[in-house]
Chains A and B, each alone.
Chain A
Amino acid sequence: MTLQFSNETKATFDWLVSRYPEKKAALLPTLWLAQKEFGGWLSPEALSYCARLLDLPPSKAYSVASFYTMYNLQPVGRYKLEVCRTLSCAMAGAFDIIEHLEQKLGIPCGETTPDGKFTLATQECLASCGTGPVMQINGEYYEENLSAARVDEILARLP
Chain B
Amino acid sequence: MIMSNELILSRNWSRAYSWTMASALEAGTYKTAADALRSGRPPGELLDEVKRSGLRGRGGAGFPTGMKWGFLPKDNPKPRYLVINADESEPGTFKDRAILEKDPHMLLEGCILASYAIGAHACYIYVRGEFWHQQRILMQAIADAYRQGFLGDRCFGTDFKLDITVHSGAGAYICGEETALLTSLEGERGYPRLKPPFPATHGLFQCPTVVNNVETIANVPYIIGRGANAFAAFGKYEVNAEGRPVIDSRGTRLMCASGHVNRPGVSEIPLGIRLIDYINDYCDGVKDGKKLKAVIPGGSSCPILTAQEAEQVEMTYESMARFGTMFGSGGLVVLDEDTNMVWALHNLLRFYSHESCGQCTPCREGTDWLYKILGRMLVGKGTESDLAEILDIADNMEGKTICALAAAATMPTRSYIQKFREEFVAHFTKGGVPTDSRGRYRVPATVRQ
Given contacts A28-B184, A127-B128, 18 further A-B contacts (CB under 8 A): A26-B187, A28-B170, A68-B170, A68-B171, A70-B129, A87-B296, A88-B258, A91-B335, A95-B446, A98-B446, A123-B130, A127-B88, A128-B94, A129-B264, A129-B333, A130-B258, A131-B264, A141-B133
Q: Which residues from B are CB-within-8-Å of A93?
A: 440
Q: List 26 A-B contacts (CB under 8 A).
A: A22-B187, A28-B167, A28-B184, A29-B167, A32-B129, A68-B190, A69-B170, A86-B351, A87-B91, A87-B296, A88-B92, A91-B339, A102-B446, A122-B446, A124-B91, A124-B173, A124-B351, A124-B355, A125-B91, A125-B92, A127-B128, A129-B256, A129-B331, A130-B94, A130-B265, A139-B132
Is A130 a contact partner of B257 (Cβ separation < 8 A)? yes
Which residue of A is nearest B352, CB measured?
A124
Q: Which residues from B are CB-within-8-Å of A67?
A: 172, 189-190, 357
Is B89 a contact partner of A88 (Cβ separation < 8 A)? no
Known: A88-B92, A132-B258. A140 touches B264 (CB 8 A): no
Partner of A130, one of B79, B256, B300: B256
The 3 closest A-B pairs by CB, nearest first: A68-B170, A27-B187, A70-B171
Which residue of B is nearest A66, CB measured?
B189
> Does A90 belong to the interface (CB within 8 Å)?
yes
> Does B10 belong to the interface (CB within 8 Å)?
no
Q: How far is the CA of A54 from the CA of B187 in the complex (A)?
A: 11
> Does B347 belong to the interface (CB within 8 Å)?
yes
Which residue of B is nearest A70, CB measured?
B171
In the complex, chain B residues 252-290 whose Cβ is within 8 Å of any chain A Cβ: 256-260, 264-266
Q: Which residues from B are CB-within-8-Å of A32?
A: 129, 168, 170
Q: Which residues from A are CB-within-8-Å of B266?
A: 130
Q: Which residues from A are CB-within-8-Å of B92?
A: 87-88, 125, 129
> Does B97 belong to the interface (CB within 8 Å)?
yes
Main secondary structure of the interface of A (DSSP, over half): mixed
> Does A45 belong to the interface (CB within 8 Å)?
no
Q: How far is the CA of A134 from the CA of B189 in the complex (A)?
A: 27
Q: How far is the CA of A70 from the CA of B172 in the complex (A)?
A: 8
C-beta contact mask, A95-133 vs B, less than 8 Å → 1, else 0? Answer: 100110010000011000000000000111111111110
Known: A31-B170, A99-B444, A129-B258. A140 touches B189 (CB 8 A): no
Which residue of A is nearest B93, CB measured?
A127
Partner of A125, one of B205, B351, B444: B351
Q: Which residues from A are CB-within-8-Å of B96?
A: 127
Which residue of B is nearest A129, CB measured?
B258
Is B170 a contact partner of A71 (Cβ separation < 8 A)? yes
In the complex, chain B residues 155-204 whose Cβ is within 8 Å of any chain A Cβ: 163, 165, 167-173, 184-190
Is B347 a contact partner of A86 (Cβ separation < 8 A)? yes
Is A29 a contact partner of B168 (Cβ separation < 8 A)? yes
> Does A159 belong to the interface (CB within 8 Å)?
no
Distance in Å from the Cβ of B124 to the closest Cβ of chain A?
A: 8
Q: How far is the CA of A123 from the CA of B241 in the complex (A)?
A: 51
Is A25 a contact partner of B187 (Cβ separation < 8 A)? yes
Is B170 a contact partner of A70 (Cβ separation < 8 A)? yes
Which residue of B is nearest A19, CB measured?
B165
Interface residues of B, CB < 8 Å — how many?
60
Interface residues of B (CB under 8 A from A): 79, 88-94, 96-97, 122, 128-133, 163, 165, 167-173, 184-190, 205, 256-260, 264-266, 296, 300, 331, 333, 335, 339, 344, 347-348, 351, 354-355, 357, 440, 444-447
Distance in Å from the Cβ of B80 to the closest Cβ of chain A?
A: 12
> Does A10 belong to the interface (CB within 8 Å)?
no
C-beta contact mask, A65-83 vs B, less than 8 Å → 1, else 0? Answer: 0011111000000000000
Q: Which residues from A are CB-within-8-Å of B258?
A: 88, 129-130, 132
Known: A70-B130, A127-B128, A139-B132. A64 touches B187 (CB 8 A): yes
Partner of A24, one of B91, B187, B344: B187
Q: How far is the CA of A87 from the CA of B447 in the complex (A)?
A: 13
Distance in Å from the Cβ of A122 to the closest Cβ of chain B?
A: 7
Which residue of A is nearest B173, CB measured?
A124
Q: How far is the CA of A123 from the CA of B97 in the complex (A)?
A: 17
Known: A70-B129, A129-B333, A130-B264. A88 touches B167 (CB 8 A): no
Q: How far is the CA of A133 from the CA of B339 in the complex (A)?
A: 17
Q: How far is the CA of A13 from the CA of B266 in the complex (A)?
A: 36
Q: Which residues from A are CB-within-8-Å of B170?
A: 28, 31-32, 68-71
> Does A136 belong to the interface (CB within 8 Å)?
yes
Q: Which residues from B are CB-within-8-Å of A124?
A: 89, 91, 173, 351, 354-355
Is B90 a contact partner of A125 (Cβ separation < 8 A)? yes
Is A68 a contact partner of B129 (Cβ separation < 8 A)? yes
Q: How far is the CA of A19 from the CA of B333 in the complex (A)?
A: 39
Q: How far is the CA of A29 from the CA of B125 in the complex (A)?
A: 13
Is B333 a contact partner of A127 (Cβ separation < 8 A)? no
Q: How far is the CA of A98 from the CA of B264 in the complex (A)?
A: 22
Is B440 a contact partner of A91 (Cβ separation < 8 A)? yes
Q: How far is the CA of A3 from the CA of B333 in the complex (A)?
A: 47
Distance in Å from the Cβ of B340 to the closest Cβ of chain A?
A: 10
Q: How far is the CA of A63 from the CA of B187 in the complex (A)?
A: 11
Most chain A CB atoms below 10 A, which of B163, B258, B335:
B258
Partner of B444, one of A25, A88, A91, A95: A95
C-beta contact mask, A14-50 vs B, less than 8 Å → 1, else 0? Answer: 0000011110111111011000000000000000000
